[in-house]
Homo-oligomer: A and B are copies of this chain.
C-alpha cells in the first residue's frame, strides 16, 4: 500500500484508507469459481485497507428489466432515455436504482466480476447497467459551458476507474490474438469502451480467468494472488488507452480524422 499513496491522492482516494471500491458480482452460486473469486477479492480489499461496498446481484435479487415503473412513467408512451432523465432530475427514480447510484457516487474503483455467458455479461448484470446508467447521470451529460455532450473519456462517471474480472470457459490459446473466440478486450469492447469509457470511467485491462471449468486449487491460488495484485495497483495501472472523443482524433461526426491510425481497421482503431 505505502508505495502507491502518491497516486491514490491523484485519483481522489483518502491516504489513510485506499481506493473506495464498489464490487459488483453476478453468479447464482456462491460456491462457484466466481463466488470464490469474490471472496478472495473482498479479503484482499480488507487486507489492503480499501473501504468497499458490494452489489452481489443474485444475493440481492436484483431485477434486471427496465420498466416504466423505474421512472414513475406508467400509463404514458415510454421514451426510456427521456423518462429516465426526467426521473433522475426529479429524484424519483426507483429506489433500487437510487441505491446503486449512491454506491457508484461514492466509489473510486468499480469492479465488475462475472462469468462470460454467450460472450457477454449474464442478464442480471447487463440489466444493472441498463437500469442504473440513466440519462443525465451516466450519459447525455452536457458541458455546462459549451453544451457539448460529454462521453468517451469524460462524462457522468469521470474520475472513477473500472476493472472487469471475467471467467471464461475457453482455454487461453483460443482467446489469444488469433484464437477463434476473439481476444477478450475486443469481445468486451461494449463494456470496456461502450460503457466504462463512454461514461467517463477509466477502463483498466480486464483480468481474465480462462479454462473456468477446469481450475485446480493451485490454479485458483495463482488467480487469487493476481487479483489481489490487480486491486493493490489499480490506482496506478496503465489503463486501456482508448482515444478521447474530445482529444482531436475524431472529427465533429465522431469519425477518426484522416491520418489517424492510417492503414488499421477494426476496434483497435480506437486505442491510441
Contact = CB atoms under 8 A, between A and B. Distances in A.
For the complex of A and B, 6 pairs with smallest distance between CB atoms? A123-B127, A119-B194, A119-B190, A266-B266, A64-B123, A29-B78
Given A126-B127, A152-B180, A190-B190, 9 more contacts: A29-B68, A29-B78, A66-B124, A80-B115, A118-B130, A123-B126, A186-B189, A265-B266, A265-B268
Nearest to A31: B77
A191 B267 CA distance: 16
Contact of A253 (B171, B193, B195): B171
Contacts of A173: 253-255
Nearest to A169: B81
A151 B78 CA distance: 40
Given A65-B124, A118-B190, A181-B194, A174 B253 contact: yes
Interface residues of A, number: 64
Of listed A32, A67, A180, A243, residue having the most chain B CB within 10 A:
A180
Contacts of A255: 173-174, 176, 178-180
Interface string A120-137: 111110110110010000
Q: Copies of this chain, how many?
A: 2
18 contacts: A28-B66, A28-B78, A29-B77, A32-B79, A58-B65, A65-B123, A81-B213, A118-B191, A118-B194, A122-B126, A122-B130, A123-B130, A179-B253, A180-B256, A181-B194, A182-B270, A190-B190, A265-B268
Contacts of A231: none
Contacts of A193: 119, 182
Contacts of A77: 29, 31-32
Contacts of A190: 118-120, 187, 190
A65 B66 contact: no
Given A120-B120, A130-B117, A189 B178 contact: no
Contacts of A80: 28-29, 115
Nearest to A186: B267
Interface in A19-67: 28-29, 31-32, 58, 64-67
